Amino acid sequence: MYSLKRLFPYCLTLIFSVCYLAPALAATEEVVVYSARKAHLIAPLFDRYTQKTGVKVTLLTDKAGALVQRLLAEGKRTPADLLLTVDAGNLWQAAEQDVLATVDSKQLQQQVPIWLRDPDGRWYGLSKRARTIIYNTERVQPAEISTYADLAQPKWYGRLCLRTSKKVYNQSLVAMMIARYGETRTEDVVRGWVNNLAAAPFSNDTKAIQAVAAGQCDVAIVNTYYFGRLQRKQPDLPIALAWPNAASGGVHVNVSGGGVTRYAKHPQAALRLLEWLASEEAQGEFAELNLEYPVNPEVPAAKQVQAWGSFSEDPMNLSQAGRFQARAVRLMDRVGYR
């Protein structure tokens, strides 16, 4: 018994700490958010929402794939009310795994253009990111740039830089190309890209942009906000954005977005938060925190973003990005796009 007595305080501490640290039952109204959009890009908005409405927002960030697995495992007992993530492919996959509930909201339907949300109303885009072509202003005339497919032409031999095909942005871009042109033609284009590479694919967009700026290559395909961040730090780099496919489909846009979880404990509160995020009041800041474009057509983009010029965007429904993502990944593997 001697040893039991000695262990007793430890047991007590253990029990106490487990009880104390177990998720507290919400006293006030609360929305629990699982988010693959990073805390520093979203927390300021949640703070504003809490100030305005008194609703507490609890945030847990992780990768999209892991969060979906957690939602699946927690099932009916999940504490999460809202899932936020980046990339339409991930949103489509969350809906496919049945962790999102269908919501019918007039407000969301007005605020979010039809091609940037799920046809069944399970997820809604909240900010747009354009994936476009960046070029070195000293080595390329803007008129030379016409379409994504054109970058596969021999005239770009040894002049193209790409990010790795393991990044979901490229998978969505190629998936949308498959949806538009079919697999055979897309495969020819991507093979052409790989053939034209000036350097092995980069691990991130910023590296690709820096390679263009340094003259390692002349053009690259990147998301605009990476350029925006670099522009803030080094405004004098010899690089600029071009808007391809003006006459044929438009620039590829992707979204960050979210949906109410299937087993939300506070579905109404979660929906109100989602509607607020898409409203004119929140959209400006939501997009500007990451130099993206608002989805709400009533809200203008930030000044820096507007200065890059306007473009026509691809109006095909983004759920295609998810539907064709696995085929896109296999296609890129086949042509040796690493």
Contact residues for another protein, defined by CB under 8 A: 3, 17-18, 21-23, 32, 38-41, 58-63, 65-66, 69-70, 73-75, 77-79, 93, 96, 164, 166, 168, 171, 199-207, 210-211, 213-216, 226, 229, 325-326, 329-330, 333-334, 338
CA-to-CA distance for 157 and 173, rounded, in angstroms?
21
Q: Which residues pair with 191 in a beta bridge?
A: none
- The nearer residue to another protein, 86 or 103, going by C-beta atoms, is 86
Q: Which residues contact 305 (CB under 8 A, 6 or more apart)?
A: 224, 228, 287, 288, 291, 292, 293
296, 126 contact by CB (below 8 A):
no
**For another protein, which is the closer residue by CB, 58 or 248?**
58
Token representation of residue 130: 């354009």
Which CB, 171 or 186, lies closer to another protein?
171
Which residues fall within 8 angstroms of residue 175, CB to CB, at 6 or more apart? 89, 320, 321, 322, 323, 324, 325, 327, 328
34 or 243: CB nearest another protein: 34
Q: How far is the CB of 308 from another protein (least distance, A)?
A: 19
H or E segment at 240?
Answer: strand 239-242
And the tokens for 67? 């969060």
Give the residue with the Cβ less far from another protein, 28 or 310.
Answer: 28
Please report how close the Cβ of residue 69 comes to another protein at its closest, in angstroms: 5
Nearer to another protein by Cβ, of 87 and 313: the residue is 87
Task: Provide the minimum distance between the beta carbon of 317 and another protein in the complex, in angstroms, as a whole number.
Answer: 19
Alpha helices in the chain (DSSP H): 2-21, 39-53, 64-74, 88-96, 106-111, 168-181, 183-196, 205-214, 224-233, 267-277, 280-288, 303-306, 319-323, 325-334
Q: Shortest distance, CB of residue 297 to another protein, whole angstroms? A: 26
Whole-number Å distance between alpha carbons of 88 and 236: 33
Minimum CB separation of residue 280 from another protein in Å reads 26
State how far the Cα of 103 lies from the Cα of 259, in Å rounded to an integer: 8
Please report how close the Cβ of residue 90 comes to another protein at its closest, in angstroms: 9
* Shortest Cβ 17–another protein spacing (Å): 7
Nearer to another protein, 79 or 267 (CB): 79
